[in-house]
A and B are shown apart, each in its own frame.
Chain A
Amino acid sequence: MLAQPTVAVIDDEPQIRRVLTITLESGGFKVISAGSANEGISLVASYQPQLIILDIGLPDRDGFSVVKELRSWNNIPIIILSVRNDGDDIVKALDLGADDYLTKPFNTAELMARVRATIRRTQQQDVNTTFVNDNLLIDFSARTVHKKGEELKVTNTEYLLLALFAANVDKVLTHKYILKQIWGPSHVEDAQYLRVFIGQLRKKIEDVPASPRLIVTEPGVGYRMKTVK
């Protein structure tokens, strides 16, 4: 077993810091915490944690500038804590380079799942030629998609979308990010394209397209491919 992974918690509410500390420690993480942005940044610089949990609303600086600054010199994954369900702030932070988000209040199971998935994703760097999730199989070398063992007919765009989700499994992808990756930077505002393609894709890969399990919608933010167990 590896050494205990370290998580840095940056939140101005002592209460939240304390609860997160207890929760994460009970989950087997080492926790360091800071109550302000500047304190947090120096904490990250000196401890090099495996993950950062960052509150967007900090008293000394806003969380966006913290994300920007952290991203300018490291790639430590960041999970954003947001009070508001309003997607704009979250999308902004994600577009600046944050990896995932949680809205307050959140429950422990979800927090731990996100923390683990994010750390795992950044640690596994090996390139697989196939991707498997539930009954879906993508063969990257043959550029084919199989469901329940049968090959699916997918268009080029659908394949690219699936590959993008597979490469970022369990990570939320903003509309803008997906549009930019698939259609190029001039189409980042055309979210309606995406809705159409996701709809088609769900019809092909989901067991029940009306209640998707593989590609889930993150309201106001984007989509996420979930690992189905």
Chain B
Amino acid sequence: MQDEDFLRPDPEKLLQQIARDEKSEGHLKIFFGMCAGAGKTYAMLESAHKAKRDGVDVAIGVVETHKRVETEELVSGLELVPLAEITYRGTKFKELDLDGILQRKPQLVLIDELAHSNIPGSRHEKRYQDVLEILSNGIDVYTTLNVQHLESRANTVHEITGMKIRETVSDTVFERADDVELIDITPAELLQRLQEGKVYTQENSKIAIQNFFKKGNLTALREMALRLTAEHVDKDLLDYKSEKRIEATWKSGQRLMVAIGSSPFSANLIRWTRRLAYSIEAPWFAVYVDATSELSELNKEVLLENLKLAKELGAEVITTKDTNVIAALIRVAREYNITQIIVGKSRPKGLFAYIESRRFIRELISKSGDIDVYMVGGEREAKEKKFNFQLRKVSQSPLWQYSAVFFAITLANLFIFMAASFSYQSVSMMFLFIMTLLPLFELGPGPIMLGALLSAFYWDYFYIPPLFTFHISKTEDVLMLIMFFIVASVSGVLSSRIRLHQRSLQQREARTSALYNLTKSLSVAPGINDIADIARGHIENAFSTKVAVIFGTLEGKLNAVAHPASSFQLNDTDWNIANWVFNNGQKAGKFTSTLPNSDYLFYPLDSMRGRLGVVILAPPNAQRLAFEQELMLTTIIRQIASAVERDQLNELAKSALLHEESEKLYNTLFNSISHELKTPITTIITAKSALETDAVVVNSSFLSGLVEEVSKASERLLRLVENFLDITRVESGNIKLKLEWNSMEDLLSSIAVKTASELNHHTLQISYRVEPVLFQFDFTLLQQAIYNIIHNAIEYTPKDSKIEVIYDQIGDRCILAIKDNGGGIPQDSLDKIFQKFFRGSGVKAGGTGLGLSIAKGFIEAHHGQIRAINNPDGGAIFQIIIPINR
């Protein structure tokens, strides 16, 4: 299985390769050398000139000439992107202008000294991060690097040369390089160049030769550089093989696991394991077992560094909580099918630590079964950093814990001594009692041991005869003292361990329940605003920090303001960071290596479908997030992202539905109108063509039937066209009324005549409550309006229905009621019937849904009103009110 997996090209890698081949990512070439003075910069510049001659658009981002004449000559022929000025603590520094390069966007940019650390205030801490960003923008990069600056080699170099290397480059960058060109030079040649002053000035050269540039050192560095280049070539070959599906000769189905802790030595272990994993082509894991929750600040820092390093070097990092380190290691190893465990060989100080470490090793070996265990030797770096490399960590209790215990025991002793009436055996029971109480106060094992020692000491001195001496006369008392000591310390340490375990359980439970609550509330959050609110609330609670959330727009940009649920707003600089995070998908800000000067911590809100926004935290104190906390935070953010994504999908579905609805409406409308238009036209065309056939011409009943159909269809068509013209007039809002003195009586009787032919066994009754007065109105328009309403009443009522028109006048208004005794108007349609193209559901064919809206338009043109109501006694009533205009 394992072997097969390796044979198959990793799809991720293939994609990366393709992505890079397609130029979405820039090409990285490293000019690699053993140390300064090898001629890397010179070689890089020469290559750049060659590229320029080939028509490549080349620019220099930054080049250190060290005032070497030949180098400076080469620089002069190339375009320079000016350096950016950054002011730090009042001094101006020149740094690579990252934004300038991204804006200029050459095809190839030269960036010297990959290992350089940027001045605080720059976007990234390290220059190699600048380079990665440039590459991700599709720009090729040439850069230079010395072997000692490679993270995994820094220690070895330190061991060989005694020089502490501060500026390091992550190995992943070296591995990311598409080409590595080794700039090789023999140590003798280099030394000669040094002496000639080609590398440094004469005086500096002398110092350099005495310290760093010893022939032995140089040979070792050269060997290292050669080997690394060879490894890189190996890897290229491997990539090539897997890309072309050439069978790679994988040696092993091995999986390595390195146990790491909060000691700087762990970094060595990590590097060592990486090298081993690399050379045997095995996946590797770094495991940290959190046995106590009490780490000093320094240790926490180191631990975080170690975990980061392991991750950077390509390990899968696993952290687990367990008071039993060995059990935890074995458990993880089994879980991940580990074949080799790598642990550090500590050089314990003191007897206790020595025994402890021996026990640890023995137990690990005996419990590991078929898993191989490697011990890797370490070195104490006491001069550099004070650290505490303990496999089973004994917590570092602050001084006050010790003093509290000291005072408590002494005070207790004082009381017992004053009381004085107990036998010394029962006094021992009292001390024992106090000892069992001690673990109740959050004490580490150290203070408890102190308590045990102290009580034993007091008991012996003050109570065991002879009094006030440490002398013990009876053997049984000696025995008792030892027993006392053992019982006190064991019970103390055990209960403190139990408490610790309990606390870790509690923490885990708190974490689980926090996540559960978050998921629960997110799952019922009805919209983006609630999601933002829940997100802010949860993060604020969990990390006691202020939170801002910015969502992306649909166009893939960041919104211009933070979401209103945020508890603070950002200033301009922070907006830039937020945008950077949004565009680059990496965290930034405080405690990160990108733009660490900000007060805030920025996380991208990523989902499977893309970037959704940015979450910003304002950590209240200077304390960085612990690894576990960060893990928790990223989990929370992931949950939020999926909730946001779900919401977006919902919105999308909703708008699709809306679109569908409107399309349906359009189709219905289109169908009904084309039906209305085509029916009379079809009739006319069909009848006309039939009229041309002989069979029809000779038969008079066919003939007259068809002619009648043609005339009916023409009338229908005319009415339709008039309707369209009318609605267009209404729509244009530009109805010119032809106002003349007219009588409503005339108008209604003309309608009665007009509708007579349409009445389908309906009766139309017109009555007047008062004598109609003459007033000014547009006869044609009002006739059309009222006709439409009556026509509608005929259409929508069953035959034999009764239609009543009642005329009335109240003050200056004429009121018309048109009643029918049909089925009335469905309640939900009442407010829609005057809308254009509205047609009642389930109505018969014919009609455009325009009649009533035309009526309304014409009546409103007369400053009148129309409304429809249902008669409680059945049927519909249309009420028209028109002001009497004299």
Contacts and interface: CB of A to CB of B under 8 A. Distances in A.
A57 B842 CA distance: 13
Contacts of B705: 18, 22
Interface string A72-112: 00000000000110000000000000000000111111010
Contacts of B696: 22-23, 26
A27 interface: yes
Contacts of A23: 686-687, 690, 696, 706
A59 interface: yes
A25 B693 CA distance: 12
Assign chain B's interface to a size class: 20 to 34
Interface in B713-739: 713, 716
Interface centre among B675, B681, B682, B709 (most CB of A within 10 A): B682
B799 interface: no
A20 B671 contact: no
B695 interface: yes
B695 A105 contact: no
A20 B702 CA distance: 11
A18 B709 contact: yes
A22 B679 contact: no
Contacts of A59: 842-845
Given A57-B675, A59-B845, A106-B685, A15 B690 contact: no
Contacts of B366: none
Interface in A120-178: none
B709 A22 contact: yes
Contact of A107 (B685, B709, B843): B685
Contact of A26 (B682, B695, B844): B695
B686 A19 contact: yes
Interface in B390-438: none
Contacts of B279: none
Contact of B686 (A28, A83, A84, A107): A107
Given A20-B686, A25-B702, A15 B845 contact: no
A131 B713 CA distance: 44
A83 B683 CA distance: 13
B712 to A, nearest CB: 7
B474 interface: no
Nearest to B710: A19
A16 B706 CA distance: 11
Interface centre among B671, B692, B712 (most CB of A within 10 A): B671
A69 interface: no
Contacts of A27: 693, 695
Given A15-B713, A19-B690, A22-B706, A105 B678 contact: yes
A26 B709 CA distance: 15
Contact of A105 (B670, B686, B702, B844): B686
A20 B716 CA distance: 18
Contact of B695 (A16, A28, A109): A28
Nearest to B675: A83
A152 B258 CA distance: 79
Contact of B674 (A16, A26, A84, A108): A84
Contacts of A22: 687, 690, 696, 702, 705-706, 709
A219 B705 CA distance: 35
Interface string A6-46: 00000011011011101101111000000000000000000
Interface string A41-65: 0000000000000000101000000
Contacts of A105: 678, 681-682, 684-686
B344 interface: no
Contacts of A83: 671, 674-675, 678
Nearest to B699: A26
Contacts of B692: 108
A104 B844 contact: no
A12 B680 contact: no
Contacts of A13: 679, 845-846
Contacts of B843: 59
Contact of B678 (A20, A26, A104, A109): A104
B845 A108 contact: no
A150 B421 CA distance: 138
B91 interface: no
A57 B684 CA distance: 20
A15 B683 contact: yes
Interface in B658-704: 670-671, 674-675, 678-687, 689-690, 692-693, 695-696, 699, 702
Contacts of B695: 26-28
Nearest to B712: A15
Interface centre among B671, B678, B680, B686 (most CB of A within 10 A): B686
A104 B681 CA distance: 8
Contacts of A16: 679, 682-683, 686
B689 A107 contact: yes
A9 to B, nearest CB: 12
A104 B679 contact: yes
B671 A26 contact: no
A111 B690 CA distance: 10
B702 A109 contact: no
Nearest to A89: B671
Contacts of B670: 84
A22 to B, nearest CB: 5
Nearest to B696: A26
B702 A108 contact: no
A107 B716 CA distance: 20
A53 to B, nearest CB: 12
A84 B671 contact: yes
Nearest to A27: B695
Contacts of A20: 686
A108 B709 contact: no
A83 B712 CA distance: 20
Given A22-B705, A26-B696, 19 more contacts: A12-B844, A13-B845, A15-B683, A15-B712, A15-B713, A16-B679, A16-B683, A18-B705, A18-B709, A22-B690, A23-B687, A23-B696, A83-B671, A105-B681, A105-B682, A105-B686, A107-B686, A108-B690, A111-B686
13 contacts: A15-B709, A16-B682, A16-B683, A19-B682, A19-B706, A22-B705, A23-B706, A57-B671, A59-B842, A104-B682, A105-B681, A106-B685, A109-B689
| 6 tightest Cβ-Cβ pairs between the two chains A and B | A108-B689, A105-B682, A107-B689, A105-B685, A26-B695, A104-B682
Interface of A: 12-13, 15-16, 18-20, 22-23, 25-28, 57, 59, 83-84, 104-109, 111
